[in-house]
Amino acid sequence: MAVATVNLRAVTSWVGIARLFAVVLSCVAFSLVASTGEYKSPYGTWCMFTWCFCFTVTLVVLVLELLELYSALPISWDDFTSAFSMLAALMVFTTSVVYPSTSIGSPCSSHCAQKAVATTASCLCFLAYALEVGLTRAKPGDISSFLSTVPGLLKVFEVYVACLIFSLLDSYASEAGLQWCVAVYSICFIVTFLIIIFTIGRCLAYIPCPLEKMLVGYNALALVMYITATVLWPLYSFKDTKRPNPCNSECAWNKHLGVTFLTIFNLIAYLVDLIYSTRMVFIRTPS
């Protein structure tokens, strides 16, 4: 049975201070937006969910580390906190862009001060999470916590970008090429997400094959699949079509353009992932 003891380093270390700032800033952001009452749109709901989710999980992490209760959890704690800080940084960054662009008009009509301060708090919150990612990132040669290494952090990035792609998909059933692209996004998302879950749950050790080489092979396959999607998605999405005027955020043409750029981002992520994974597995640094 775990015994609670107070560990003040959980809040006095640089990582702890970054988490405290993230808790306070996310609380400021969602409190100010809640006071305006203008968050009922899909984008506003997403922003409120992001701030509340990051606030809640970071607060739980702080409490568990302060009382040293995390060791009783059947998970790899370092992998979990590394993955969450990366995910939170990506979510808050997206929110810091989406909220002002969708909720603050030009000119601003109501609750301008609250919205401006909430946006500023969100941006600072992103910096706090980015600082935590930088402080907890594994040093070269250290693979004790896989999700704190560059390939591990890239896994979180790849899953998050795939989720953004899914949120923009609307019409793709008319062309076999687009269906293949959606299959690529789905297969890579599922496999990468399972790698993250199995790593946090300490289940990878039960896989009866050379895990490191298997991950390199998967990264190579995912890279090839994303290369095909990078070519086929814009080819079939924009074939014989022009951008309508006007074309707002709900316009299918803009959504297809967003998927195109996100596909390129994930292609680059899988390429960098493959390079780092190959170096970690096949190129050993002399001791």
Please tell me which residue, 21 or 279, carries the higher pLDDT value: 21
Q: Do 133 and 164 share a structural domain? A: no
Global confidence as pTM: 0.91
pLDDT band with cut points at 50, 70 and 90 for residue 287: very low
Q: Do 159 and 125 share a structural domain? A: no
Instruction: Select from 110, 142, 174 the last residue of a domain.
Output: 142
Q: Do 95 and 10 share a structural domain? A: yes
Q: Do 177 and 122 share a structural domain? A: no
Instruction: Select from 127, 142, 157 the last residue of a domain.
Output: 142
Q: Do 275 and 158 share a structural domain? A: yes
pLDDT band with cut points at 50, 70 and 90 for residue 3: low
Query: Taking a C-beta distance cutoff of 8 angstroms, is the pair 10, 65 a contact?
Result: yes
Instruction: Select from 142, 167, 188 the last residue of a domain.
Output: 142
| Mean per-residue pLDDT, 271-280 | 89
pLDDT tens for 107-132 read: 667 778 888 999 999 999 999 999 99
What percent of the chain clears pLDDT 90, i.e. is strictly above it? 55
Q: Do 154 and 117 share a structural domain? A: no
Q: Do 181 and 118 share a structural domain? A: no
The pLDDT value recorded for residue 141 is 59
Q: Which domain holds residue 92?
A: 1-142
- What the block records as the tokens of 264 is 């390129």
pLDDT tens for 228-272 read: 999 999 998 887 777 667 766 677 778 888 999 999 999 999 999
| 3-state SS record for the chain | CCCCCCCCHHHHCHHHHHHHHHHHHHHHHHHHHHHHCCCCCHHHHHHHHHHHHHHHHHHHHHHHHHCCCHHHCCCCHHHHHHHHHHHHHHHHHHHHHHHHHHHCCCCCCCCHHHHHHHHHHHHHHHHHHHHHHHHHCCCCCCCCCHHHCHHHHHHHHHHHHHHHHHHHCCCCCCCHHHHHHHHHHHHHHHHHHHHHHHHHCCCHHHCCCCHHHHHHHHHHHHHHHHHHHHHHHHHHHCCCCCCCCCCCCCCHHHHHHHHHHHHHHHHHHHHHHHHHHHHHHHCCCCC
Q: Do 72 and 169 share a structural domain? A: no
Q: Do 229 and 134 share a structural domain? A: no
Q: Do 187 and 84 share a structural domain? A: no
Phi, psi of 25 (to 5 degrees): -70, -40
* Least confident piece of the model among 85-99, 130-144, 180-194, 251-265: 130-144
- The answer on pLDDT for 66 being more than 80 is yes
pLDDT tens for 18-62 read: 999 999 999 999 999 998 887 778 888 999 999 999 999 999 999
Burial class of 110 by CB neighbour count within 10 A (0 to 12, 13 to 18, 19+): exposed
Q: Do 237 and 181 share a structural domain? A: yes
Q: Do 221 and 92 share a structural domain? A: no
Tally of structural domains, the chain: 2
